[in-house]
Amino acid sequence: MLKRLLQFIMLLVASWTVMTLTHEVGHLIGGKLGGAALREFDLAPWRLPYSLHSPDPHPQLTLWAGPLLGVILPLTVAAVVRHWTVWFIADFCLLANGVYLALAWWMGDRFLDTPRMLDANVHPVWIATYCVLTIGIGYAWFRRDCKNMFADVEVN
């Protein structure tokens, strides 16, 4: 059991790192594609990564690219690699990106993604739809991953 607990903790650390990096790299790619000028960024996963673009002629592209690529990239890698640990990480990313946008909306901090999306005229229905889908599917899949990991049967 201790071995599984340590493995679980290591997978959570890896999941957090992958989630923060893919999400923020998504913002960097979106900003680049939209012609935004990157002013500052930090990708350190032990604090909340960020990127600041100004001017940003297409802020919706820059802002949506983070949560979209933060989900698409890990799920694509998991579909190719097809190993349970990679699915664990991808499912965490799916859940975490949705939870992040929902919490950022609730908190209202002007530096977080959701308030910035609303300021960039992203319709709230699109944000809510993203949150419902990613949290709903992500919770079910990540819960399954956790249950399988701690099941009596050894996971390979």
In terms of pTM, does the model score above 0.85? yes
Q: Phi, psi (5° rounding) for residue 40?
A: -165, 150
**pLDDT (tens digit per residue) in 40-49:** 999 998 888 9
Question: Rounded to 5 degrees, what angle do the CA atoms 147, 150, 151 make?
Answer: 80
Is the distance from CB of 145 to CB of 155 less than 8 angstroms? no
Q: Per-residue pLDDT tens for 101-138?
A: 999 999 989 999 999 999 999 999 999 999 999 999 99
